[in-house]
Amino acid sequence: MSDNGSDHSSPLLRSIESSKREQARRVRRTILSLLIGTGLLCGAIVLFLLSTGYGYADLNAAYISRHSMEVAQTGPLPPEKILDLAEKKLDQVRPKGIFVVVDHVRNHLYLRDGDKVILDALCSAGAGTLLTDPKSGRHWVFDTPVGRFFVRGKRKDPTWTAPDWDYIESGEPFPKSYADRVQEGMLGEYALDLGGGPPGYMIHGTLYTRLLGRNVSHGCVRVGRDDLRIIWQKVPVGATVFMY
């Protein structure tokens, strides 16, 4: 019986041993795969950190000194230093040469050459009033735009083409022909057309010099004859115009 039992159990033992060896191989392959995968993941993370600039550095005095702003290094800056820094920033954005500044609240136009004020002229900026056409419902706001602009062109003896709002405001009927809208002398001797903003705005002369210094225009900047002549002579095409 023992011989027959031994003969029958031997294949079973071999099968069990073979199964154990196969399981051991699978475990080794799994461990190896995990190790390889972990290594690849670590390598990818390292490459990501290197490519994006992230890194680790000790938070020591040298590191802080290299990466801190001047305010953090020195504490609160004295007023003189603040003014000096502000002037340097202004120098970076201040136009070079002749430029124009319009204060549409105080109705003053300043002609400047760098830090020097060449001309301080009374002007008339937009009234800020609202006009509505009772028939069509169209409306206009007569305000001077604010921002940074430039002199797009200069015209001598300019003519003015009256828009619809001029006739609505005065209660007159629209002219039948376009030529009837053209008016001479309304803009004075000279006009400087402005670019960089809404179309149609100008610096020009006026027939109503007694109103200079008041907000009475329809958006353009009006100046007196003598001041306009200086502006015409000094301000080149392309010059910067600040209006605030």
Indicate whether 144 belongs to any domain. yes
Instruction: Report which of residues 36 and 222 the model is more confident about.
Output: 222
Q: Do residues 107 and 205 share a domain?
A: yes
Q: Do residues 138 and 175 share a domain?
A: yes
Which of residues 82, 110, 142 is at a domain's end?
Answer: 82
* Chain segment 145-199, per-residue pLDDT in tens: 999 999 999 999 999 999 999 999 999 999 999 999 999 999 999 999 999 999 9
Q: Do residues 182 and 216 share a domain?
A: yes
Q: Do residues 65 and 153 share a domain?
A: no
Cβ-contact 128, 231 below 8 angstroms: no
What pLDDT score does 177 carry?
94
Q: How far apart are CA 102 and CA 106, in angstroms?
A: 9
Indicate whether 87 belongs to any domain. no
Q: Report the chain's mean pLDDT, rounded to a whole number.
A: 83
Q: What is the rounded average pLDDT of the residues 22-48?
A: 67
What pLDDT score does 31 carry?
74
Indicate whether 89 belongs to any domain. no
What pLDDT score does 92 carry?
75
Task: Specify the CATH number for the domain of residue 105.
Answer: 2.40.440.10
Residues 6+ apart with CB under 8 A from 118: 98, 111, 112, 230, 234
Q: What is the rounded average pLDDT of the residues 58-64?
A: 51
What pLDDT score does 55 carry?
44
Q: How far is CA 25 from CA 11, 22, 139, 222, in A?
A: 21, 5, 87, 94
Q: Do residues 132 and 233 share a domain?
A: yes
* 52 pLDDT higher than 70: no
What pLDDT score does 6 carry?
42
- Give the residue numbers spanning the domain of 61: 2-82
Indicate whether 88 belongs to any domain. no
Beta bridge partners of 108: 103, 122
Q: Do residues 62 and 108 share a domain?
A: no
* 70 pLDDT higher than 50: no
Instruction: Report which of residues 74 and 176 the model is more confident about.
Output: 176
Q: Do residues 120 and 184 share a domain?
A: yes
Q: Do residues 118 and 234 share a domain?
A: yes
What pLDDT score does 40 carry?
67
Indicate whether 39 belongs to any domain. yes
Nearest to 224 by CA among 195, 244, 203: 203
% of the chain surpassing 70 pLDDT: 73
* 77 pLDDT higher than 90: no
Indicate whether 207 belongs to any domain. yes
Q: Do residues 74 and 105 share a domain?
A: no
How many independent structural domains does the chain possess? 2
Cβ-contact 244, 125 below 8 angstroms: no
* Chain segment 86-145, per-residue pLDDT in tens: 777 777 777 889 999 999 999 999 999 988 999 999 999 999 999 999 999 999 999 999
Instruction: Report which of residues 65 and 221 the model is more confident about.
Output: 221
Nearest to 111 by CA among 171, 192, 188: 192
Q: Do residues 115 and 196 share a domain?
A: yes
Which of residues 27, 62, 82 is at a domain's end?
Answer: 82
Q: Do residues 165 and 208 share a domain?
A: yes
Q: Do residues 173 and 130 share a domain?
A: yes
What pLDDT score does 29 carry?
74
Predicted model pTM: 0.63
Q: What is the rounded average pLDDT of the residues 214-219?
A: 97
pLDDT confidence band for 43 (50 / 70 / 90): low
